[in-house]
Structure 1
Amino acid sequence: MAFQDIITGLTRRRIQIYDQAGEDWRFAESLKSVSEDTAQEYEGRAVLELIQNGHDALAECGAGRIAVLVCPHAGENGVLYVANEGAGFTNSNFRAITELALSDKGAGEGIGNKGLGFRSVLELTDWPEVYSKASPSSAEFDGFCFRFARPEDVRGLVDDSELADRVIEDISPLALPVPAKVTDAELTSLAAEGFSTVVRLPLRNKHAVEAAIAQATEAISGEAPLLLFLDRVGQLIVDVQDGGDRGGRRVLARSVAPSTLVAREERGWVEEVDLAEGGRYLLARRTLAPEELRRVIERSVEAREIDAKWLKWEGEAWVGLALRLDEDLERGLLYTFLPMSDAACAPFRGHAHAPFFTKLARLHISEAVGLNPFLLDQLAELCLRLVSALRAQGPCSAVRHLVLDLVCWDAPARIDRVLDGKLADEPIVPLVEADAWGTLRASFAWPDGTRPWTVLTAKALAEAGGPLLDPSVGPLREARLLKLHQDLLTTQMLPSSQTAAAWVERVAERLQPAREAQPVPLWANFYDDLARAFADHPEDLSGRRIILDQDGRLWPALGGAETAGKSEQSVFFHPEDEGGNGTAEVPKALKALRRRMAFTHPGIAWERPGRTFLETHRLVRPYRPGRVFEALRDLLAKSPSDALCRDALAFALRLFPSLTAVERRRLPQTGFRLPTGDGDWIKATSCLFSPAWGTEGGRRLAKFLDAGGDEIPSLAALRQRWLSGRADCRRDLPRAVREGAPQHDGVRTATSPRTAHADTEDRHLAQGPAE
């Protein structure tokens, strides 16, 4: 039977059935009403629905073409053409497109299987047309070519004018096909170019023209690439023949190649998709187990969540994901082959496809439908499988951003459940400078402030042993990983201040210059960074060897307010930084004291944040003579060695000329120790001047003891408190001072004459030896 006869015969029979039903069954009116309502559900998606139909017509293993032409100046109000080079219309296709919700495609056979999407064209036209070839090799449209009956067509088919009026009123035109002749030159051109089917829409009015242009433009320039999961399409040609800024011809291409990011054996399910100007993507797919899928479908059908037609699923079912390779993807969308609405976001930073059950226009999904959560679970498993494949192939630097895009789900409970709640222990954190992976539980992120770090960078801390997230992943991915850490472990990913203090100490060790070298300029920046990093917890730096002294050695920071004065070591800002001079430095000869007291390196160009931080929190003492003598007091209060006692006294003599009267009066509080004749060092307040000092009291005591006072033990013990002889003191103390102390009235060599000022100095330092 000729195609025209099939078309006309079907319409005649439908009119006859309608007439016979009469008022007993007003099905035609119901179907017309539903058809018009359905068209409204697909508002704005007519072009997408026609592209989908074209995709389903293409061969499964091919790379066919689809063309969309908008010709605003053709016909009466403009014409939209959508063509494909797939299989031409069959009798089954023809009948299905003229029915409502009776698609001849089963679930799984293509994108569209509801039999409703074609109604979307009613947004743009009242009289759609279809032209198809009997064979792909045909040079012209010689197959099913039909349009839908206009009033004059109905009257030509029905002799009864009253019946014709009722048919026109009650029956949807889309149920009454009539043969169409090819009279449009554009159709002839499309046939010659190899397209096998064309849907031609004479546009209703100017509004319809604008809508067609907008939908065609959106198809090629939307946020979600249209061809991403349409593996039957090789090219999508969009030609808006407007002549204005909106006009022009654009071609979206899709090509596929193996990916080098995964091992060769993995390339059957992972490939790279090149969409030309649409970007490059890594696409992975997971075939669903048929029996498992069927059980889920059966449960959803039984719960009346989906149509029983799904039980007749045919063909392979799969889920897929796509990650952008050539630039960052701000957000991903859900697909059912075609992208859903902008509100249907993928749960991770990639696009995701699955045969979701959706409402008519496929704008979003409902997780209340049991099939949909099952498909999301399959996507989660696919994400983790791809993560494993990417890590195995490496290197980390090439795939770190992709791994984070895959695992950082907006709601991570689903992907965590796939790993039995152990996602936090999975190596998914790319570590800085290590080309290695860490776990969320054992890795950290170094905070990014309002200004970049100068010394305490993530790289520097990583070199010091910190397992830190590589900041090269960018702020957006870092923020998503921090959220994932918070969601899974309910803690921040930042290191504790105690942990950071240990890393900082090792950074200081790496900065430490050679003994004779000048410190690198970074030291001042190092202390400024400390002020930022430990603003809330300066106490955690206490005891950490982070203070560079005058000899290029590292000293522990002091202990803060609660431990000030209790340390066996003390460190001061260099006297020159306080406006002093080199006299205040501890001479190298005073080795015992230098092991316990130091000054910051004079080469550090202090900046205020770091200096203020260290001083405010008492991690370094400001240099003032009073503070120095406080430190000496602390050192001398803890069973000091003889060498330390000697060095402390020598250092005090060195400072004495620069002290004010008030500072000199406070010297007795220091608790200096002095040498006795037995070689011991005892507190100055316990010492007695021996006869060798030439004092009247000393001579009288010696005479008394010699005359028999030694017979009394307590009096005899006074000899042990005698200061070492004047010559011995001058031999010992000045020699220790000579290495760095200038000669002056108060610090004398063994041969210098004694003066009244010298006696005053001795008394200030000793303040207590009895005569």
Structure 2
Amino acid sequence: MSQKSLPPQINEESHPGPLEAVIRAETGGKIRSFLYQLAEGVTDYRSIHSLTEQVRHQYHGRFAIELIQNAYDAVSRAEEQEGALSRIEMRLELDGERGTLFVANDGAPFSHSNFESVSRLGQSDKDPTTSVGNKGIGFRSVLEISQRPQIWSRRFETSHGFDGYCFGFAPEFVRSIHDPVLAIIERRSFSEAQGWFAEIVEEDPSLCERLCSGAQRVQARGANSITDWLREEIGYLSPYLLPWPVTERSTTVDDFEERGFASVVELPLTSLAAVSLTERKLAEITADSMLFLDNLKALTITTPKGSRTFRRSIVQRAKGPRKLGKVSIGCEDSTRTFSVWRRKVQVSDMPEPVQESIRGLPGQWPKLERAEIAVAVSDDSEPTPGKLSIFLPTALETGAALHINAPFFGDMSRTTISFDTEEEGAQAGGTYNEFLLHQAAVLGLEAISSDLAGRSVGEAANILDILAPTASESAAKDRWQEHLSRAATEMDIDIENAPWMLTDGGWCALCQASLLPLPSDPKVLCAEELRKHAAFPAYAAGLDTRIGLIESLSGRFGIGVMPTEADQAITIEAAVKTLACDPELDWGHFWQDVCNIFEDDLSHLKGKDVILCTDGTLHSGGVAGRAIYFRPRPAGQDDDSSEEPGIDQVPAALQSFIAILDPRIPVSEVRDGRRQNTELHKRLTDARLVNTFRREDVLADILAPNLPPMPVARGTRDVELCRDALFYALRLAAS
């Protein structure tokens, strides 16, 4: 056949192999069907063309995931799983302004069923419980970036090369049928180059005559010339239903063949924009993409910017009633470990409305026998919103920092999932999808109760990942919390009061545990200091990265995350008693932290020994019959206060109820050449913890009320008290 008659890479061999003959026969049959429709004025091919365009738009941006899905299905079908390499490799190569994306796997070779699925829109025979993608539809997602996809495959797993289904699609091939069809209509003989087309029409000797008759009817209507009509109708014939054998291949395909891969998808990219989109979508692939691909061991992504290989391994095989296992996914220097719980539910055990929902689904779905639900949490230090997966992640978040996989019934591209019940008039499968999500909630609570609670800080973090609402949209959070609440009720669990929160003192209930009341920028009262003296059950230090989850979970139940002000005051009192032993302590920073903790309302510290005074000890302010005073300033600086020798030197017998604030507490500073009060001075005054020193107040409010009844007996402590009171009063009067 002439090289001009068919597009590049689509060549005719004089002696085609058995699979090449199958490929040619498939396309020949479809071309004959198209010619029959032309002859009879039927336009089913237009509907298929329209559906192809619709699929391309609905799968926008999903081609990378779809390619992984199809490759993974092949890996899962491999006869030998235990010793298999189980690889998928995605490689983007640039050539000038364009490039080519290759996707290779070393699973089972392309089967006849696979070939039919790819070349016949929407005719995949995959089991929704064991297979990821829909080759008949999902493969069309590549049309977003490529118009000439090609597939190279071995015939058997033991084959030494790509001797199986090797074929491609191209718009040029469809356009190439125009001239031979026109030759039939014009009753001309085929040229030597059109001999391949003769083989197609010779299958039915009546076809040519019927086609001529149909063309005459079109010509009689006179709308278009026969040539224009034919070209227009051929334009509606989807090239992606017409595979043709390919033989010429790139060195990259040769490389994949030599390295033992079973099949390769080759996608010449259409434009620079397609290259950019491909780079972006490949960059979006993360370890999460491999989480539920149990049979995959390695996923390599190579672009001109570098190469990444994700390696998946089993850390702990699934065991126990909840099939708890651990999976490790590593890439370069980063490794993530996931705990995964699984449960299978027989369809026959599902409620009747759920079974009815399944029976209303299309394709192979009514044959569904069981569904496996899996929930997974990671050991990541920073939690991130999890995704709902149908083997691979969808666009929907779970509503928490956990991942959920189940054979949900999703939209065509498996990007979204409907959870609206059929009674509400929504799309099919909503009741079934709701059931699966509810089973995930039950499994999650069982995992907490039996496998996580009462163990270490890692498990405590996982509990928060499962329970706490976290998502970029409220619908996902609300949906997950609703299922958790229903599951908890069914299981007679009170989440708010269950001992599922790890604190420094052990496990306790959500309503009992509190976060540390840390200042926004700790100077002295750091987490370690507060934790050491906490008068309340403080969340364990290892949960610091889960503070956001703690806040959202507590908010869900209307619980405050901070300890009471009374417990905070007790904690600060205990802390400062230790801190005060350090002669280098910066008291200004200490009080800055305290003001920040209490949001400048220091009244909660009344009665707490937290104020350093000139006698070197800590005193409590705001207590009846006792007072702490600001140190008097020199005359002229603070109204009626003056500093005379001895005024701030309180006699020993009076020190239990009169104290002078230590000068290390920064309650004044020089501003604009004058000594002025600081903000701390105002806070201490407003809280009535420290008073301004006025002689009459000291005499009337403190000294007089604390004097014993007269007369006092000699040799008693009252004598010392009266003596010191008299001397101090005279000192005040003389100042």
TM range (shorter): 0.7 to 0.9
Matched, 1:237 2:300: yes
- Indicate the structure whose relative CO is greater, using CA pairs within 8 Å and at least 6 residues apart: 2
* Contact in 2 for aligned 1:573/1:622 (Cα 8 Å): yes
In structure 2, what is the equivalent of residue 635 of structure 1?
706
In structure 1, what is the equivalent of residue 18 of structure 2?
2
Cα 1:67–1:267 change in 2 (3 A) is same
In structure 1, what is the equivalent of residue 549 of structure 2?
480
Residues 223-242 of structure 1, C-alpha deviation per residue, up to 9 Å, x if partnerless?
Answer: 664333323322333344xx
Letter aligned with residue 536 of structure 2: G
Letter aligned with residue 597 of structure 2: A
Which of 441, 457, 467 is the matching residue for 2:537?
467
Residues 176-222 of structure 1, C-alpha deviation per residue, up to 9 Å, x if partnerless?
Answer: 3333334544433322221222223344x324xx4145325532454
In structure 1, what is the equivalent of residue 570 of structure 2?
502
Cα 1:519–1:212 change in 2 (3 A) is closer
In structure 1, what is the equivalent of residue 438 of structure 2?
377
Matched, 1:45 2:62: yes
In structure 2, what is the equivalent of residue 280 of structure 1?
335
Matched, 1:338 2:360: no
Counterpart mapping for 1:528-567 below 5 A = 528-535=592-599, 537-547=601-611, 555-559=619-623, 567=624
Give the CA deviation at 1:472: 5.7
* Contact in 2 for aligned 1:132/1:198 (Cα 8 Å): yes
Matched, 1:172 2:238: yes
Give the CA deviation at 1:64: 1.4
TM-score (norm 2): 0.74
* Contact in 1 for aligned 2:152/2:167 (Cα 8 Å): yes
Letter aligned with residue 29 of structure 2: R
Which of 426, 431, 436 is the matching residue for 2:503?
431
In structure 1, what is the equivalent of residue 670 of structure 2?
none
In structure 1, what is the equivalent of residue 11 of structure 2?
none
* Contact in 2 for aligned 1:63/1:232 (Cα 8 Å): no
Cα 1:522–1:439 change in 2 (3 A) is farther
Cα 1:251–1:536 change in 2 (3 A) is closer
Separation in structure 2 between the aligned mates of residue 293 and residue 278 of structure 1, nearest angstrom: 46
- The sequence identity of aligned pairs, in percent, is 25
Q: Aligned with 2:60: secondary structure?
A: coil
Q: Aligned with 1:441: secondary structure?
A: coil
Separation in structure 1 between the aligned mates of residue 729 and residue 625 of structure 2, nearest angstrom: 23
Give the CA deviation at 1:442: 0.5
Structure whose CA Rg is larger: 1
Counterpart mapping for 1:177-216 below 5 A = 177-203=243-269, 205-207=270-272, 210-212=273-275, 214-216=277-279
Letter aligned with residue 34 of structure 1: L
Counterpart mapping for 1:599-618 below 5 A = 599-600=659-660, 605-607=665-667, 608=678, 610=680, 612-618=682-688
Q: Aligned with 1:424: secondary structure?
A: coil
Cα 1:189–1:453 change in 2 (3 A) is closer
Separation in structure 2 between the aligned mates of residue 89 and residue 443 of structure 1, nearest angstrom: 57
Counterpart mapping for 1:129-140 below 5 A = 129-140=150-161
Give the CA deviation at 1:250: 1.5
* Contact in 2 for aligned 1:348/1:406 (Cα 8 Å): yes
Q: Aligned with 2:326: secondary structure?
A: strand
| Structure 1: gaps spanning 5 or more residues | 241-246, 560-566, 664-771
* Contact in 1 for aligned 2:388/2:405 (Cα 8 Å): yes
* Contact in 2 for aligned 1:357/1:365 (Cα 8 Å): yes
Q: Aligned with 1:95: secondary structure?
A: helix
Matched, 1:252 2:317: no
TM-score (norm 1): 0.71
Cα 1:638–1:267 change in 2 (3 A) is farther
Cα 1:52–1:614 change in 2 (3 A) is same
Q: Aligned with 1:201: secondary structure?
A: strand
Give the CA deviation at 1:629: 0.6
Matched, 1:620 2:690: yes
Give the CA deviation at 1:135: 0.8
Give the CA deviation at 1:308: 5.7
Larger deviation, residues 128-137 vs 416-425? 416-425
Matched, 1:13 2:82: no
* Contact in 2 for aligned 1:571/1:620 (Cα 8 Å): yes
Separation in structure 2 between the aligned mates of residue 534 and residue 123 of structure 1, nearest angstrom: 58
Residues 63-90 of structure 1, C-alpha deviation per residue, up to 9 Å, x if partnerless?
Answer: 412233334439x965433222111122
Letter aligned with residue 150 of structure 1: V
Separation in structure 2 between the aligned mates of residue 179 and residue 619 of structure 1, nearest angstrom: 91
Residues 328-350 of structure 1, C-alpha deviation per residue, up to 9 Å, x if partnerless?
Answer: 35444333232334xx3332234
* Contact in 2 for aligned 1:557/1:620 (Cα 8 Å): yes
Separation in structure 2 between the aligned mates of residue 69 and residue 231 of structure 1, nearest angstrom: 22
Matched, 1:150 2:174: yes
Q: Aligned with 1:108: secondary structure?
A: coil
Cα RMSD, aligned residues only: 4.0
Separation in structure 2 between the aligned mates of residue 471 and residue 545 of structure 1, nearest angstrom: 27
Counterpart mapping for 1:332-371 below 5 A = 332-341=386-395, 344-368=396-420, 369-371=430-432
* Contact in 2 for aligned 1:354/1:375 (Cα 8 Å): yes
Residues 538-578 of structure 1, C-alpha deviation per residue, up to 9 Å, x if partnerless?
Answer: 4433333444566666544324xxxxxxx344444567998
